[in-house]
Chain A
């Protein structure tokens, strides 16, 4: 961020030479801790493994790369279209249902991708109710009619897009809402029509947020395992597991993950590059509620339709079928044990979300303070965990934890003759740490993007009045980005609630979550029984999703100042 470097130069070292101030040390320390699992994965690259790679290259590697790229492209385009257009519509216009869509558009986020995939397959597949009905009603057999194949690359693109677009929507909408109305109104008085001010001003100003949302979507897409595996689409992630489980080669699997990280580095570079070229700060602190333009007639209904479609397909339809199935099975699934699952899921999600928010705040602020290149790259690197499949992260976490445990054990057994065994591995500490490695990007990106929008001159002004770093953080930054902090917390909360693979490997004995129960039943193709825990995940996630939505509408800096 060159422009901020120039404005903040007065207090920070030139790029490349981090002066060891407390902030810098703290952030570097955090970065190093969180980098350990990622470095563990990357270090696998140095193990020679030519024979397996030749086999992979000759057979399946091209498929993995092509499918992963196509998947990312498809999901990227669709989520951008849905996310940005709906965000603009609900922020700028009034049409039937526009108030409700503000929050309803977030609802699909509460459905894990693998659950929506199972649900739609249950409904649309050859053996599903819809096709059975078609065959019976028209008296025809399979092959006499055309029906889109849900379990395909295209199907996977649709499923992932339906549950991931809310990331783009959420961040874009927050950016639109936070935009100074003056800018938009100036553009209108200068003769820009709504469409043109959307394109020239709205999109341009919201671009950093849109790109953050998009990069989250793409990383999540790359890391997805449940959906592509169920749909039989051979991607990098499925390839990693195949190589590991099937060929019994965990090194090659880690190497595949490292290769995948290379993709992510390119992605992040593109994101960085785009931010780099366009920097926007709020130039005016005058905010008013955006006066929404009322839409009438057919354009109003079109807007309603555009907003209703993703909610319908991404939330209401799958929820409807889940409820149908849950009705048949809730008697056998819901017991005392079931409430324990809800409790476990919520505790894990809350702890991780709060810790992630605090750490992101520290890192983002440290980055802002120091302006050092090392720290900037370091925080970027920490964000990469989001694109790595949970299982791979889990192994990256297990290794260092077991190493620490072993050394503690050796220390105690030689000094005191006591075997301490495993102190951290196999505890919730290891699990929460893995979540943090995996989801820090969500929280960090959100906080970072928000902090960047706070003009550096604010810091300068505060400093010139003799305020110290911590005071500036507490009295200026935190109040200004409160909405984004809440967003970061809630996003991680929902993500942890849905997380499966890392939980599966790292959890302690007798510790289950809703996601695990859902997976175990769905994996046995007992969809009807899986519906109850799946529904519970959705219902628990709705609370933070609704909170999120309320927070955005309130987070306009001027709105509470005005009362």
Chain B
């Protein structure tokens, strides 16, 4: 018994004194670890990482409750941040830097989470078959003129769910439902694969348009595989709704867990991720747009030009997530 007692004391002390921060991350290891290593070098804080699906990690946080070892949750979309917040898994981020550097629409209005990078969902088109003058808005993709010409991945994907949730916020449930029906009618094939697959299908001629996140195009243009580079060269990027509300934007973001025992380190990590260095990294390495104003996007990003972004508060994407999925279920968007 005494031995156990000592063991627990040792355990307690060891967790209390070492400077570390524990991360649950929905961002894949390869897309976050280099940054975390830089953070450790700069601050001396040890970083422990578990990656996984955002909802599974949220469930783990929920079940572990106040004993959870996690200090922060990193996600790749706004709706999951909203979900974690509404389930009481976050605490307010105790940092003035967040509100100073991140525009209000890319962070939680109550200060529970902040965006770290921006991801735009755009229309990729076949440059040899589509005149970009024909393209206008997301809404227009439901028009019969695109019958059998559109590729998009499954509605199980969070980027699609957020896109549709955004439409619900702007147009309402009914109009979005009609739009989804029209869009599904226009599918060139049943949804399958990821965003890169849609780009390849456009390049191969199976469809003329695809809804994709821009960083996938960037990744393919710089891929080590020749076929990917070739496919990406065949497509153009069109920014939808530029005359109106702007293109759909999602974020990757972060929040400090309610159970966090290393709040100070967690705060420093967030500040590091918002630093110029980290913001450049997002743009250069994964072709995401910086969330902080005034950071120049990478050259690959600049070739697609400037764009007007939808100013819808990110939490709305979370609020309408489940409604969006029901609409897609009803429309038969697999």
A-side residues, CB < 8 A to B, are 55, 58-60, 121, 125-129, 131-132, 135, 141-143, 149, 151-152, 229-232, 234, 238, 241-242, 244-250, 325, 328-329, 332, 391, 394-395, 398-399, 402, 405-406, 409, 412, 416, 418-422, 425-426, 504-505, 507-512, 516-517, 520-521, 523-526, 528-529
Contacts and interface: CB of A to CB of B under 8 A. Distances in A.
Contacts of B69: 421-422, 426, 509
Contacts of A402: 63-65, 67
B193 A121 contact: yes
Given A247-B326, A329-B224, A510 B48 contact: yes
5 contacts: A229-B156, A328-B224, A422-B68, A521-B28, A525-B197
Interface of A is mostly: helix
Interface string B214-256: 0010010001110100010000000000000000000000000
A231 B227 CA distance: 21
B206 interface: yes
A232 B192 contact: yes
B59 interface: yes
Contacts of A526: 219
Given A406-B65, A412-B8, A248 B321 contact: yes
Top-3 shortest CB links A-B: A127-B200, A232-B192, A142-B205
A419 B203 CA distance: 58
Given A127-B204, A131-B204, A504 B53 contact: yes
B197 A420 contact: no
A127 B56 contact: no
Interface of B is mostly: helix
Contacts of B189: 149
Given A127-B203, A142-B206, A509-B22, A245 B156 contact: yes
Contacts of B65: 402, 406
A519 B132 CA distance: 36
Given A59-B330, A242-B325, A421-B15, A398 B55 contact: no
Contact of A520 (B30, B56, B224, B322): B30
B195 interface: yes
B28 A508 contact: no
B312 interface: no
B280 interface: no
Contact of B67 (A422, A504, A509): A422
B51 interface: yes
Given A142-B205, A247-B326, A394-B56, A151 B193 contact: yes
Given A132-B227, A509-B22, 12 more contacts: A58-B330, A126-B200, A126-B206, A132-B204, A142-B205, A247-B322, A416-B5, A426-B69, A505-B53, A505-B60, A510-B50, A524-B30
A238 B30 CA distance: 25
B103 interface: no
A423 to B, nearest CB: 9
Contact of B329 (A59, A231, A517): A59
